[in-house]
Amino acid sequence: MNGKLPYRPIVHIPKTKIEKMTDIICFGLFVLSLVYVVFNWGKIPDEIPGHFNATGEVDRWGSKYELFILPIIGTLQFILMSLLEKAPHMHNYPKRINASNVEQFYLQSRKLLNVIKNISLLMFGFLIVQIVRVTKGDIQTLGAWFMPILIGIIFIVVVIGIFQQKKIK
Protein backbone atom coordinates (compact mmCIF):
# COMPACT_ATOMS: atom_id res chain seq x y z
CA MET A 1 0.00 0.00 0.00
CA ASN A 2 1.21 3.54 -0.72
CA GLY A 3 0.40 4.94 2.75
CA LYS A 4 -2.72 6.78 1.58
CA LEU A 5 -5.79 6.25 3.67
CA PRO A 6 -8.73 4.45 2.01
CA TYR A 7 -10.90 6.19 4.63
CA ARG A 8 -10.34 8.77 7.32
CA PRO A 9 -9.98 7.17 10.72
CA ILE A 10 -11.90 8.53 13.68
CA VAL A 11 -9.22 9.57 16.16
CA HIS A 12 -9.88 11.27 19.49
CA ILE A 13 -7.31 14.00 20.08
CA PRO A 14 -7.85 15.85 23.37
CA LYS A 15 -8.24 19.62 23.20
CA THR A 16 -5.11 21.57 24.04
CA LYS A 17 -5.06 23.81 27.11
CA ILE A 18 -5.03 26.85 24.84
CA GLU A 19 -8.16 25.64 23.02
CA LYS A 20 -9.94 25.05 26.32
CA MET A 21 -8.90 28.44 27.70
CA THR A 22 -9.91 30.38 24.58
CA ASP A 23 -13.30 28.62 24.59
CA ILE A 24 -13.86 29.58 28.24
CA ILE A 25 -12.63 33.17 27.85
CA CYS A 26 -14.50 33.88 24.61
CA PHE A 27 -17.74 32.26 25.76
CA GLY A 28 -17.43 34.15 29.06
CA LEU A 29 -17.03 37.47 27.21
CA PHE A 30 -20.01 36.57 25.02
CA VAL A 31 -22.11 35.89 28.14
CA LEU A 32 -20.95 39.24 29.58
CA SER A 33 -22.27 40.96 26.46
CA LEU A 34 -25.65 39.34 27.15
CA VAL A 35 -25.50 40.49 30.78
CA TYR A 36 -24.79 44.00 29.47
CA VAL A 37 -28.00 43.82 27.41
CA VAL A 38 -30.02 42.58 30.40
CA PHE A 39 -28.77 45.42 32.63
CA ASN A 40 -29.49 48.01 29.93
CA TRP A 41 -32.77 46.55 28.63
CA GLY A 42 -34.91 49.27 30.24
CA LYS A 43 -32.76 51.99 28.64
CA ILE A 44 -32.95 50.50 25.14
CA PRO A 45 -35.53 52.30 22.96
CA ASP A 46 -38.10 50.43 20.89
CA GLU A 47 -35.98 50.92 17.75
CA ILE A 48 -32.39 49.71 17.56
CA PRO A 49 -29.83 49.49 14.77
CA GLY A 50 -30.82 46.49 12.65
CA HIS A 51 -27.95 46.67 10.19
CA PHE A 52 -24.70 48.53 9.64
CA ASN A 53 -23.18 49.34 6.25
CA ALA A 54 -19.54 48.68 5.31
CA THR A 55 -18.39 51.93 6.94
CA GLY A 56 -20.07 51.02 10.22
CA GLU A 57 -22.99 53.43 9.92
CA VAL A 58 -26.53 52.36 10.78
CA ASP A 59 -28.49 51.82 7.57
CA ARG A 60 -31.55 50.05 8.97
CA TRP A 61 -33.43 50.35 12.24
CA GLY A 62 -35.63 47.62 13.69
CA SER A 63 -37.45 46.43 16.78
CA LYS A 64 -35.43 46.09 19.96
CA TYR A 65 -36.46 42.44 20.01
CA GLU A 66 -34.20 41.93 16.98
CA LEU A 67 -31.39 42.15 19.53
CA PHE A 68 -32.20 38.51 20.39
CA ILE A 69 -31.16 37.38 16.91
CA LEU A 70 -27.40 37.87 17.41
CA PRO A 71 -27.17 35.89 20.67
CA ILE A 72 -29.19 33.05 19.14
CA ILE A 73 -27.02 32.92 16.01
CA GLY A 74 -23.82 33.26 18.05
CA THR A 75 -24.83 30.46 20.42
CA LEU A 76 -25.93 28.14 17.61
CA GLN A 77 -22.73 28.81 15.69
CA PHE A 78 -20.64 28.13 18.81
CA ILE A 79 -22.46 24.83 19.41
CA LEU A 80 -22.29 23.67 15.78
CA MET A 81 -18.63 24.59 15.36
CA SER A 82 -17.83 22.89 18.70
CA LEU A 83 -19.49 19.73 17.38
CA LEU A 84 -17.53 20.00 14.13
CA GLU A 85 -14.32 20.31 16.17
CA LYS A 86 -15.09 16.85 17.57
CA ALA A 87 -15.27 15.37 14.07
CA PRO A 88 -11.99 16.32 12.36
CA HIS A 89 -12.35 13.29 10.08
CA MET A 90 -15.15 15.22 8.35
CA HIS A 91 -12.95 18.24 7.55
CA ASN A 92 -11.36 18.82 4.17
CA TYR A 93 -7.71 17.76 3.71
CA PRO A 94 -5.13 17.63 0.93
CA LYS A 95 -4.46 14.35 -0.86
CA ARG A 96 -1.17 13.93 1.02
CA ILE A 97 -2.96 12.94 4.26
CA ASN A 98 -1.88 9.44 5.28
CA ALA A 99 -1.66 7.17 8.30
CA SER A 100 1.56 8.78 9.54
CA ASN A 101 0.30 12.38 9.50
CA VAL A 102 -3.44 12.06 10.09
CA GLU A 103 -3.24 13.15 13.75
CA GLN A 104 -1.21 16.25 12.83
CA PHE A 105 -3.74 17.23 10.16
CA TYR A 106 -6.68 16.63 12.51
CA LEU A 107 -5.11 18.69 15.29
CA GLN A 108 -4.18 21.55 12.97
CA SER A 109 -7.61 21.62 11.37
CA ARG A 110 -9.35 21.58 14.74
CA LYS A 111 -7.15 24.39 16.08
CA LEU A 112 -7.96 26.56 13.05
CA LEU A 113 -11.67 25.88 13.46
CA ASN A 114 -11.40 26.70 17.17
CA VAL A 115 -9.80 30.07 16.49
CA ILE A 116 -12.37 30.99 13.83
CA LYS A 117 -15.21 29.88 16.15
CA ASN A 118 -13.94 32.06 18.98
CA ILE A 119 -13.29 35.09 16.76
CA SER A 120 -16.87 34.77 15.49
CA LEU A 121 -18.22 34.56 19.03
CA LEU A 122 -16.24 37.64 20.07
CA MET A 123 -17.58 39.47 17.01
CA PHE A 124 -21.17 38.64 17.99
CA GLY A 125 -20.54 39.81 21.55
CA PHE A 126 -18.91 43.02 20.30
CA LEU A 127 -21.82 43.74 17.94
CA ILE A 128 -24.36 43.16 20.70
CA VAL A 129 -22.60 45.65 22.99
CA GLN A 130 -22.10 48.19 20.19
CA ILE A 131 -25.77 48.06 19.19
CA VAL A 132 -26.75 48.88 22.77
CA ARG A 133 -24.13 51.66 22.89
CA VAL A 134 -25.53 53.20 19.68
CA THR A 135 -29.06 53.15 21.12
CA LYS A 136 -27.82 54.83 24.31
CA GLY A 137 -26.05 57.53 22.29
CA ASP A 138 -22.58 56.54 23.53
CA ILE A 139 -21.39 56.07 19.92
CA GLN A 140 -22.84 56.83 16.49
CA THR A 141 -21.27 54.07 14.35
CA LEU A 142 -19.21 50.91 14.59
CA GLY A 143 -16.40 52.85 12.97
CA ALA A 144 -15.04 52.58 9.47
CA TRP A 145 -12.30 50.19 10.60
CA PHE A 146 -14.54 47.47 12.06
CA MET A 147 -15.10 45.47 8.85
CA PRO A 148 -11.54 45.79 7.47
CA ILE A 149 -10.07 44.76 10.83
CA LEU A 150 -12.46 41.81 11.18
CA ILE A 151 -11.83 40.59 7.63
CA GLY A 152 -8.09 41.13 8.08
CA ILE A 153 -7.98 39.10 11.30
CA ILE A 154 -9.89 36.19 9.77
CA PHE A 155 -7.76 36.32 6.60
CA ILE A 156 -4.52 36.28 8.64
CA VAL A 157 -5.77 33.38 10.80
CA VAL A 158 -6.72 31.31 7.74
CA VAL A 159 -3.43 32.05 5.95
CA ILE A 160 -1.44 31.08 9.05
CA GLY A 161 -3.52 27.89 9.32
CA ILE A 162 -2.84 27.01 5.69
CA PHE A 163 0.90 27.61 6.08
CA GLN A 164 0.99 25.49 9.24
CA GLN A 165 -0.83 22.72 7.40
CA LYS A 166 1.65 22.91 4.51
CA LYS A 167 4.47 22.19 6.99
CA ILE A 168 2.96 18.79 7.79
CA LYS A 169 4.91 16.06 5.99
d(CA 4, CA 100): 9
CB 77 within 8 A of CB 120: yes
Question: What's the pLDDT tens digit per position in 24-43?
Answer: 999 999 999 999 999 999 99
Contact between residue 51 and residue 58 where contact means Cβ atoms under 8 Å apart = yes
Q: How many domains does the chain have?
A: 1
Q: Are 116 and 122 in contact (CB under 8 A)?
A: no
149 pLDDT exceeds 50?
Answer: yes
How big is the CA angle at 54 (ends 53 and 55), to the nearest 5 degrees?
90
What is Dmax (Cα atoms) for the chain? Answer: 68
Q: Tell me the C-alpha distance between 15 and 111, whole Å.
A: 9
- Contacts (Cβ under 8 Å, ≥6 apart) of 81: 113, 116, 117, 120
The answer to whether position 45 is within a domain reads no
Q: Is residue 46 part of a domain?
A: no
- Can you tell me whether residue 137 is helix, strand or coil? coil
Length of the chain: 169
pLDDT (tens digit per residue) in 52-73: 998 899 999 999 999 999 999 9
- The answer as to whether 133 is a domain residue is yes
Q: Per-residue pLDDT averaged across 129-152, rounded? A: 93
| 138 assigned to some structural domain | yes
99 near 7, Cβ under 8 Å? Answer: no
- Is residue 126 domain-resident? yes
135-144: average pLDDT: 91
pTM of the model: 0.89
Provide the residue range defining the domain that includes 160: 17-37+59-166
d(CA 57, CA 144) in angstroms, rounded, equals 8
